[in-house]
Amino acid sequence: MLNMNDILETITMIQEENLDIRTITMGISLLDCADSDAEKACDKIHKKIYSKAKDLVKTGDSIEKKYGIPIVNKRISVTPVSMLMAASGGDPLKYALTLDRAAKDVGVNFIGGYSALVHKGFSSGDLELIRSIPEALSETEFVCSSVNVGSTKSGINMDAVKLMGKVIKDTSLLTKDRQCIGAAKLVVFCNAPEDNPFMAGAFHGPGEPDCIINVGVSGPGVVRAALSKMNANEDLNAVSDTIKKTAFRITRMGQLVGTEASSALGVPFGIIDLSLAPTPAIGDSVAHILEEIGLEKCGGWGTTAALAMLNDAVKKGGVMASGNVGGLSGAFIPVTEDAGMISAARSGALSLEKLEAMTAVCSVGLDMIIIPGDTPEEVISAMIADEAAIGMVNSKTTAVRVILAIGSREGDELDFGGLLGKGPVMKVNRYSPAKMISRGGRIPAPMQSLKN
């Protein structure tokens, strides 16, 4: 028999503590849409996406009603478009516009995969695609883009790193009338996962099946609420245990929703991404969990240790709750999407350097950070290189998603609205890395890559 307390606990989690399924993402392979004629390829792409995903939003909504659990986003990830570009050549922008139209037609709120994987070097189509990113992101509404510039196995492609500094700047410039929002839809990765359901970095890797459902769960508010009910003198073992138990419950719900969606759509179930993804809503913040653990303000000393424990406990709890765990699976720390991070950045408690340290122990990287509009390209490139190095050496995913606030200076604010949030322009160390960045070439793969 169901226990009354369990029922009320679940309802409180959903009603008061912002528990939700953050995203159901359908991964669709576009490899069979490749054509030497770009027009034909685009037709095939639209047809395939429409036929696979036409019921995605409807199915998500009906599961939401059946279980009474909000499913916030329905999204699509596709094969990196640079692979289709390799077959057709020509103007990559056509592909971006096709993806945008397909996303609109099926009603999803983002489509990811305007991407290139160049961690060892550029192949046919990659450079054209990367160079077209600023224009593609400024002319589309739903398209998200990502570029993988490094991996533990292959090292870091510093030519790509150099190029991405300019791409991020140009993307911000082209969308300067819209709060520079283009750059919020562009992620530069090291060790990019092929099955990540979270935007803006989602793409459908070449090793994935034809079509698949991946689910991203979320619940920073639930974790925080569970910790707030603890006694202040309980030790960190107990804190970690509480986080584990909470993560288990959250993930079980994700597993249920994923299984249900996959059977309703007739598409295999891929993975659950166990991430704690914050939103700007009050009570849905990862920073506030760290503060609940016992920090005065996120960003002070102790933040990295608290985050490391949180990240690990979330995985330990979640992994038992699901048959297949994948994607990024860890705590996210996107500054503008997290009420606690925004407040810490405003007050000066949280610096870019501290965020860099935090990225070494949690998933993703320097995420949703607003930097001054006049930051030199090579400084952005060097920021990407540093993050990629952390990912490469620690065999983990790292990424950079920074937004240049064109025409703004340190202390000003940008407001993107919705889930992307808002935040202050943060201070950037301006000592020049220009000479190193201009060298180009490749940082060789580290010893960690030699595991065979």
Partner 1 sequence: MKAVITVIGKDMVGILAKVSGTCAERNANVLEVNQSVLQEYFAMVMLIDISALTCSLEQLKTDLDKNVEGMTIHVMHEDIFNSMHRI
Write out the residues near partner 1 by the rule CB under 8 A: 1-4, 6-11, 62, 65-69, 249, 252-253, 255-256
Task: For residue 98, give the amino acid letter.
Answer: T
H helical segments located in 107-180: 126-139, 158-174
Q: What is the DSSP letter of 16?
A: T
If the CB atoms of residues 77 and 251 are measured against partner 1, the closer one turns out to be: 251
| 385 close to 156: Cβ distance less than 8 angstroms | yes
State the virtual CA torsion across 249, 253, 254, 257 in degrees, nearest 10.
Answer: 170
If the CB atoms of residues 3 and 233 are measured against partner 1, the closer one turns out to be: 3
| 376 close to 343: Cβ distance less than 8 angstroms | no
If the CB atoms of residues 131 and 252 are measured against partner 1, the closer one turns out to be: 252
Q: How far is the CB of 70 from partner 1 (least distance, A)?
A: 12
Q: How far is the CB of 313 from partner 1 (least distance, A)?
A: 18
Residue 11, H or E segment: helix 4-15
Q: How far is the CB of 381 from partner 1 (least distance, A)?
A: 45
Q: How far is the CB of 323 from partner 1 (least distance, A)?
A: 13
If the CB atoms of residues 115 and 242 are measured against partner 1, the closer one turns out to be: 242
Distance between CA atoms of residues 220 and 280, nearest Å: 11
Q: Is the dihedral of CA 222, 226, 229, 231 positive or negative?
A: negative
Q: How far is the CB of 15 from partner 1 (least distance, A)?
A: 8
| Residue 93 CA from chain centroid, whole number | 23
Q: How far is the CB of 66 from partner 1 (least distance, A)?
A: 5
If the CB atoms of residues 83 and 226 are measured against partner 1, the closer one turns out to be: 226
If the CB atoms of residues 199 and 222 are measured against partner 1, the closer one turns out to be: 222
If the CB atoms of residues 253 and 342 are measured against partner 1, the closer one turns out to be: 253
If the CB atoms of residues 54 and 252 are measured against partner 1, the closer one turns out to be: 252
- Rg (C-alpha) for the chain, rounded Å, is 21
Q: How far is the CB of 62 from partner 1 (least distance, A)?
A: 7
If the CB atoms of residues 21 and 183 are measured against partner 1, the closer one turns out to be: 21
Q: How far is the CB of 284 from partner 1 (least distance, A)?
A: 19
Q: Which residues of 51-73 are buried (b: 16+ CB within 10 A; e: fewer)?
A: ebbebbbebbeebbeebebebbb
If the CB atoms of residues 62 and 449 are measured against partner 1, the closer one turns out to be: 62
Task: For residue 251, give the amino acid letter.
Answer: T
| Residue 148 CA from chain centroid, whole number | 13
Q: Is 122 exposed, middle or buried (0-12, 13-18, 19+ CB in 10 A)?
A: middle
Distance between CA atoms of residues 433 and 437, nearest Å: 6
SS3 94: helix
Q: How far is the CB of 253 from partner 1 (least distance, A)?
A: 6
Round to the nearest angstrom and report the end-to-end CA distance of the chain: 51
Residue 147, H or E segment: strand 143-151
Which residue reads 């240049």 in tokens?
Answer: 404
Q: Which residues of 79-94 are buried (b: 16+ CB within 10 A; e: fewer)?
A: bbbbbbbbbbeeebbb
Distance between CA atoms of residues 195 and 189, nearest Å: 14
Q: How far is the CB of 82 from partner 1 (least distance, A)?
A: 39
